[in-house]
Amino acid sequence: MKNCCLLLLTLLALLSARPGYAQGVLQSPRLLTAPVRQYEKAEWDITVAEQFRNAYNQREVTLDLVLTSPTGRPVVLPCYFERNESAGSTWKARFAPQETGPYAGVFRLTRKAGTVELAVSPFSVGAGRKPGFLHPNNLYTFRFDDGTLFRGVGENVAWEARSFEDQKFTYDYLLPTLAQNGANFFRTWMCYWNLPLEWPKVSSTKRYTNSSAYFHPGAIKRMDELVSLTDSLNLYFMLTLDWHGHLMEQGGWKNSAYNQSNGGPARTPTGFFTLPAAREKYKNKLRYVVARWGYSTNIAAWEFFNEVDNAAFTQQDSVLIPHEAITLWHGEMSRYLKDIDPYQHLVTTSISHRDILGLNAVAYFDFHQKHIYKHTEKIPSIYPNYIQTYGKPYVVGEFGYRWEDANPSYKDGFNYDYRRGLWYGLFSPTPILPMTWWWELFDDQKMTPYFRGVRAISDRMLAAGQGEFEPFTVSAGGLQSFGIRCGSQYFVYVLNASPAPVTASPTLAELAGRQLTVQFFEPTSLQYQAVSGLRQQGGTLTLPALTLAPQQERVLIITAKPSGKTQRQTARRTSSPMPPSAASGQSGPSASSGSAAVR
């Protein structure tokens, strides 16, 4: 009997692999986009002559587009379920090829009845106009597929207006405003009032309503629109897939699709991390996100959680969710996400101010994050400590003058922190500059144009150094000062952080005896001013006296004619060295990690 069963299963497997059988189940895929261009979306419709109880559950069914690239690299692209038809179901494949030339492959359907394959019509990819997907490069930059370097300059736009907020604050208003003013990056959330992909119950929103669907149709539609909008604006973003409030008993847990009371697999938030059924459900989400939106080169990074420590601890710092469970979950999910994402988007997660034991050691994270409130002056010292310990780039994903509210009576403090936080990041080893919170306040305060000056200097740094950033020490009396060399250009940021005017003559030893030109740059007016009257004595270069009012700042750009020795050294360098433990050349007061809290 056992041998008979084995023979029967073998015959069924052979039958399911026959071309005629595959043709009956998988029916002629249609390429909807032609011609196919590198780094641009190519889309297929695929009809499956079967329906499924839950087509989003990959344990029940998966459909993949399995390709061989022009260089022979295997590419496995998850496809996603679109809708049921009278005689079956419609699926889609969205693919952004990373190579030009001819592709060939098959659609592979896997379900309980077996696996069938159907050849996809061979297609050829022509050159496109985009630089590709972002990948790690060094401590200061990310790198596109085509080698172009990138530093993120922008802010949080964590959500569109909630039901009780000014309804003008939508992606359609905020994102064009950012792009028009020089920003190239933002960060946004999925939660029960914004892009609520996994939320059957929504709240605090006029845009979305409750839905019994496995994935929220309103969130799917809006996410499609967001990806299209960012593509048109050339804006890149970090997509935060979940937020800490999801796992708080007094927060989003009562509305969660993972909560047993809503038909989910877990009785408690800890079960979200530990139960196999909950982890499988989350992997269904990751597969769908990659299949539907992974083609987007404008999605710079997947971020698992906003401030996961605020779910793990009480306000009194007692442990609510075991650290080991959170760390193991992130290890498993980050590896799974890297396995199914053919484009290898950047992957990260974030904490507020309390480290989760082992979380920064997760191998599949491309960079680490924390958030800083009420301690903007400490931002420069954050990076070296984490980089030296974990050897990966570090990002301040949120910062602000206050976390409690955006009371306009504090606007001077908010605006000052907004400005200096960006410059602290630009002169520190980080690929994404610190991103301010309270985007509505800063729009009201007309602060968005300030990004133009920061972006202008960032672009000059990238053009001058081609990815080379070398901190150097500047002395400027009572002024805070930071220095970075990029190729043959030296950039100095000086800030008066005191309550009274300060006059100082910045000095540095790096450039003594060189042929130089110097400019002052005023970040608000975007004006450059040539500087004369340099003094070189005893191996030290002294710049003319500079008087700054309280909270005033300047950027100095010093261009040196390279010596033969410097030219040879520069040619040998391909990336920046590990920064010293000092805060990137800061001559102001030393600082340590600060605490933060959440909005």
DSSP 289-307: HHHHHTT-TTEEEEE--BS
pLDDT at 135: 98
Do 118 and 253 fall within a single domain? no
Q: In this predicted model, what pLDDT tens digit does every residue of 459-474 receive, in sequence order?
A: 999 999 999 999 999 9
Do 85 and 224 fall within a single domain? no
Position 96 pLDDT exceeds 90: yes
Within a domain: 3: no
CB count within 10 Å of CB 227 equals 21
Position 176 pLDDT exceeds 60: yes
CB count within 10 Å of CB 155 equals 28
Do 460 and 478 fall within a single domain? no
C-beta separation of 493 from 482 below 8 A: yes
CATH of the domain at 35: 2.60.40.10
Q: In this predicted model, what pLDDT tens digit does every residue of 21-57 receive, in sequence order?
A: 455 799 889 999 999 999 999 999 999 999 999 999 9
Do 452 and 486 fall within a single domain? no
Within a domain: 145: no
Q: Taking residues 145-159, what's their average pLDDT? A: 98
Within a domain: 580: no
Within a domain: 1: no
- Tokens representing 422 are 């960006």
Do 439 and 531 fall within a single domain? no
pLDDT at 589: 31
Position 11 pLDDT exceeds 80: no
- Residue 98 domain boundaries: 11-126
DSSP 41-86: -EEEEEEES---S-TT-TTTEEEEEEEE-TTS-EEEEE-EEEEEET
Q: Taking residues 212-232, what's their average pLDDT? A: 97
Q: Taking residues 168-180, what's their average pLDDT? A: 98
Q: In this predicted model, what pLDDT tens digit does every residue of 381-394 receive, in sequence order?
A: 999 989 999 999 99
CATH of the domain at 523: 2.60.40.1180
For 132-182, give the secondary structure using H, E and C: CCEEECCCCCEEECCCCEECECEEECCCCCCCCCCCCCCHHHHHHHHHHCC
pLDDT at 560: 86
C-beta separation of 247 from 325 below 8 A: no
- 3-state SS assignment for residue 528: strand
Within a domain: 15: yes
Position 12 pLDDT exceeds 70: no
Do 95 and 188 fall within a single domain? no
Q: In this predicted model, what pLDDT tens digit does every residue of 478-517 receive, in sequence order?
A: 999 999 999 999 999 999 999 999 999 999 986 766 788 9
Q: Spell out the alpha helix ranges (H) of 427-563.
A: 439-444, 451-465
Do 272 and 356 fall within a single domain? yes
Percent of the chain with pLDDT over 70: 89
pLDDT at 585: 35
Q: Taking residues 359-368, what's their average pLDDT? A: 97
Amino acid of residue 346? L
Cis peptide before 176 (omega within 30 of 0): no
pLDDT at 316: 84
Average pLDDT of the chain, as a whole number: 90
Do 458 and 496 fall within a single domain? no
Give the integer Cα–Cα distance in Å for 569 and 571: 5
Domains: count for the chain: 3
pLDDT at 4: 41
Within a domain: 589: no
| Final residue in a domain of this structure, among 409, 436, 464 | 464
Position 94 pLDDT exceeds 50: yes
C-beta separation of 282 from 241 below 8 A: no
Lowest mean pLDDT among 197-206, 434-443, 488-497, 530-539: 530-539
Q: Taking residues 542-558, what's their average pLDDT? A: 95
Do 460 and 475 fall within a single domain? no
Q: In this predicted model, what pLDDT tens digit does every residue of 394-447 receive, in sequence order?
A: 999 999 999 999 999 999 999 999 999 999 999 999 999 999 999 999 999 999
- Tokens representing 254 are 């009562």
Of the candidates 320, 356, 385, the one whose C-alpha atom is nearest the C-alpha of residue 594 is 385
Do 77 and 110 fall within a single domain? yes
Q: In this predicted model, what pLDDT tens digit does every residue of 255-287 receive, in sequence order?
A: 999 999 999 999 999 999 999 999 999 999 999
Do 76 and 100 fall within a single domain? yes
| Final residue in a domain of this structure, among 464, 487, 504 | 464
| Final residue in a domain of this structure, among 91, 126, 161 | 126
Within a domain: 16: yes
Give the integer Cα–Cα distance in Å for 58 and 4: 30
Which residues make beta-bridge pairs with 492? 483, 556
Do 445 and 560 fall within a single domain? no
Position 218 pLDDT exceeds 90: yes
Of the candidates 54, 16, 55, 36, the one whose C-alpha atom is nearest the C-alpha of residue 95 is 36
CATH of the domain at 409: 3.20.20.80
State CA 471 to chain mean position distance: 25
State CA 195 to chain mean position distance: 16
- Tokens representing 112 are 């309980």
